[in-house]
Structure 1
């Protein structure tokens, strides 16, 4: 029996823009007031797909650690932290389900300070870590001038798409092997329709890795023949959202009806794959 659902990902997991449905919060998404930010996060947590999936699974606890702009590096780091802490505290591996919505592989993060030194009030679990992405901004992601400068330098001089692509596939396998070794059940999907093209374009350096993705573990990775797996288009949250015609917010994030439908879809796949 699953008692705890742990979810991580980007804005599609956090539930960004869901507050547009609430008359009192619809203009509060960009507020810097701590109390308002807390209210927005609580509302998003209540309406985002992890909460709906948790109800379908009848779990006791749902942890939604998603964050707008969050990277796969962040999801992997935080999943390690949570699962290890959960098990160290006596939690049962059999009672935990981990669901990760992987995001754009070009994103990453950097360590900036020890916890408690540089606290972000809207995401206290990210203390000491800063987002890195090609469109990093002060308004959307809280980046300061120094952070923006470092970010520009990284993407101009250090970043390569080949490395990011290999790293992404390794991150998927990293989580798969880690959770499998501990007996923790899991299910992965991609939130954004951005990774298929580079994964397939750089297949010469990713295919031998993709072949080790467990069937049913990641909804974008499918059997493509005997002992061969392939990353296929059309299976991300974003692509499903466009095809489904489910309501979207002003910046095209899914609204609550879409989150509910996505949760039902994930639940059916968890059953079909005998993960639950």
Structure 2
């Protein structure tokens, strides 16, 4: 099967590639086209073989929705369908010739194309705008310390959890995970002592009385601070222990 090497709808007079189809009617194994060149306004007849449809269908699909007056390609502006000589209607027979009516986006003129219902199904998708594919938002991967696997940020020079050096103190180059020396300047990789963060004063969530970390009940109001059954630290405002489900004793103040 010989493949088409050029646009079969090219205007034979002026060579314009953007010809406009005004009529497309299948006849047996052939497709008979009447084209009009938007540039020189010359009409010509082209006959294509359905056996080679994959070679010319893209040309025909685009040319069918090209305005024969200004050459603009129209998408999503079909005004309606009509039987030849009758009013707008649905297509009951796919073999009958129909008029496709649209108003050109560029020149605003109403244009009419003729084809059959069965061939319309072939080219109708060319008259729709392609939807843009949604762009997937890439979620940045969480950085972790190569030694302790705790989360770190790009700005961290030292892991806040284990103290391993992440950025060379001498040259500022990122350190290769697991290395003992900087691959850029040769400086030894250090591990620093991490001072524990200071914990602020703990208070009772019920009466705001200062309490100790290991205290189970508030001395002032009796609020249960740690589960007296399993020892789990209780969440503020909770009614039951999240670990064992034991009911929490609420604090009460004598007024």
Instruction: State if a TM-score over 0.5 links the two structures.
Output: no
As a proportion of its length, which structure holds more helix? 1
| More relative contact order, 1 or 2 (CA 8 Å, 6+ apart) | 1
Structure-1-length-normalised TM-score:
0.17
Structure-2-length-normalised TM-score:
0.18
